[in-house]
Amino acid sequence: MMTNKNMKVNSDHLASLDELSFAIEVGEDIQIVLNNTEWYIGYDQNGKRVIAQNPNGPVHYLDDSVDAVLDFVINGKSIRDQWRNIIVVAL
């Protein structure tokens, strides 16, 4: 599990969009809750970048770029525009 010095101490929220961008860029497996739904951001068994609704929800394949993930739309808004509402389960 990655330890990020920018994450708020004793918090399950991100300190900044840069914190999420960094985790995506270095290829971390990320589990978040957004709008009461758990999501997985990472890679499938073949090394393809995915965003999947947990558990057993639809899997969305993305380009392997930070922007592709941040621009992914959940409930009508991009992740980039909702980062303050993200609850981090695992990073």
Q: Which value, to the nearest 10 degrees, does the dihedral of the CA atoms of residues 87, 15, 80, 1 take?
A: -60
The answer to the question of residue 5 being in a domain is: no
The answer to the question of residue 66 being in a domain is: yes
**Domain extent at residue 40:** 17-90
Q: Is the predicted pLDDT of residue 65 greater than 90, yes or no? A: yes
- pLDDT of amino acid 56: 83
Q: Is the predicted pLDDT of residue 89 greater than 80, yes or no? A: yes
Overall number of domains in the chain: 1
The answer to the question of residue 9 being in a domain is: no
Instruction: Tell me how crowded residue 88 is: count the other CB atoms within 10 A of its CB.
Output: 19
Q: Is the predicted pLDDT of residue 4 greater than 50, yes or no? A: no
Instruction: For residue range 27-64, list pLDDT tens digits in order.
Output: 999 999 999 999 999 999 999 999 999 878 899 999 99
The answer to the question of residue 25 being in a domain is: yes
Query: Percentage of residues in the chain with pLDDT exceeding 70?
Result: 88
